[in-house]
Homo-oligomer: A and B are copies of this chain.
Amino acid sequence: MVPRYQTPEMAALWSEENRYRMWALVEAYALEAWEALGQVPRGLAARLLQTLEEKPLTEAFAQRVAEIEETTRHDLVAFTRALVEWTGDEEVGRYLHLGLTSSDIVDTAQNALLVRALDLILEALKGVQEALKALALRYKHTPAIARTHGVHAEPTSFGLRFLSFYAAFLRDEERLQRARETMGVAMLSGSVGNYAHVPPEVEAHVAKRLGLKVEPVSTQVVPRDRHAEVLAALAILGGNLERVAVELRHLQRTEVLEAQEPFREGQTGSSSMPHKKNPVGLENLTGMARLLRGYLHPALENIALWHERDISHSSVERVILPDATTALHYALRRLKGILEGLKVFEENLQRNLDLTRGLVYSQQVLNALIAEGLPRERAYALVQRNALRSWEEEKSFLELLEADPENPLKGERLRALFDPRAFLRHVDAIYARFGL
């Protein structure tokens, strides 16, 4: 991912040196298992782990691996050579990688990293959920116009939209948790997945040490529908991010101006055009959602590898796993900031409610007329006639109704129908479904 959209945590997580650190851990845990099986002298793994702690793998190590790989053209071989060099521990070198195949290390380590990436995303998601919950609660009883097809429909709670987003992100959280579980498997099953040179006990031990479960049946690699599920969860979450972004971009339109993303001090807008505060952060998030959708497709195509594996998935994953998780982490962070600083212009909420001069209450009036005893057809004709006049002559619907001699509802009883709060009477019940 381009530096602009990297978060420090994701940059660290996906750095070459951190990837190698994870490889080294998998190798060390495998050694532990071999020691327990009596196939490797006791103490080697502990020594390796201690060396790694004292002399952590740095960028210099990553460069050394790259150098060796220039010749070997094989990343895992280059890594083990470099590791022996780095630790200077020939004895560890003798047993390192015993019975294993490259994918045992690479896939298991990648899964472990991906699980951690998902944890970062889940944490960032939590922040967005909290911000949405706060907005939902703050504006729970604030009337606002609801729009369908971009056209005014009926009054509703301004907060309800945030509750709806909150609910969507709860579903995303579930999808991510399940994807995390799907992804959280370790595999050390040897070159074709049948444990020919490494018994299942090694895998079980490494899995436990990494907090993962065991892949119950592998080929040379972990099956790639697992990764596809992760990318699908990210892309769907991206879709929900976009949904929030599109809503708020709409609300920030000059004509609507019900809300505005925060504008930082010193930020260059147009000082000669003070209305020109642009929702650039939200537009950025819209773009991020597109990227996330784009990363899903290659992951789906990665599933059908040839026989026990081909390595076509590898180049794809080197790119999309860091890029997708990083873009999403960045986007969630950014959205949280926008939501927390969101300006809401309550006077504009009211102005927009009134924009159609009361027409949005026509259904209320109709129902009241029928309740009053008017035959449905007459009630309908009465409402329709006045609504049309209100719209065409730009007059108050309420005043027209007040003046209509056929209308039995007048004065306070009529005015009461033009109260947006009537539309909010079940809002508490909706919130209660979320314990709010």
Give the interface of A toward B (CB within 8 A).
1-2, 4-5, 71-74, 77, 94, 146-154, 156-157, 160-161, 163-164, 167-168, 171-172, 175, 178, 182, 191-197, 199-200, 216-220, 223-226, 228-229, 232, 235-236, 238-240, 242-243, 245-247, 249-250, 252-256, 264, 266-268, 270-280, 283-284, 286-291, 293-298, 300-316, 318-320, 322-323, 327, 352, 355-356, 359-360, 362-363, 366-367, 376, 380, 383-384, 387-388, 390-392, 422-427, 429-430, 433-434
Contact = CB atoms under 8 A, between A and B. Distances in A.
Given A192-B148, A387-B274, A305 B243 contact: yes
Copies of this polypeptide in the complex: 4
Contact of A311 (B161, B163, B284, B297): B284
22 contacts: A73-B267, A74-B267, A74-B268, A146-B192, A146-B219, A146-B308, A147-B253, A150-B278, A156-B192, A161-B307, A163-B217, A194-B427, A217-B433, A223-B243, A249-B310, A274-B388, A275-B359, A287-B311, A290-B301, A291-B316, A294-B295, A296-B296
A200 to B, nearest CB: 6
A307 B147 contact: yes
Given A193-B164, A303-B239, A303-B242, A280 B217 contact: no
Nearest to A311: B283
B293 A73 contact: no
Contacts of A284: 311-312, 314-315
A389 to B, nearest CB: 9
A387 B276 CA distance: 11
A218 to B, nearest CB: 7
B253 A151 contact: yes
A72 B266 CA distance: 6
A151 B276 contact: yes
Contacts of A376: 94
A422 B196 contact: yes
Nearest to A426: B195
B148 A278 contact: yes
A151 B277 contact: yes
Contact of A200 (B77, B228, B392, B426): B426
A273 B359 contact: yes
A219 B430 CA distance: 12
A239 B150 contact: no
B387 A217 contact: no
Nearest to A228: B236
Contacts of A223: 164, 167-168, 243
Contact of A239 (B154, B225, B367): B225
B295 A236 contact: no
A86 B322 CA distance: 35
A320 to B, nearest CB: 7
A263 B184 CA distance: 35
Given A320-B291, A427-B194, A391 B151 contact: no
Nearest to A331: B315
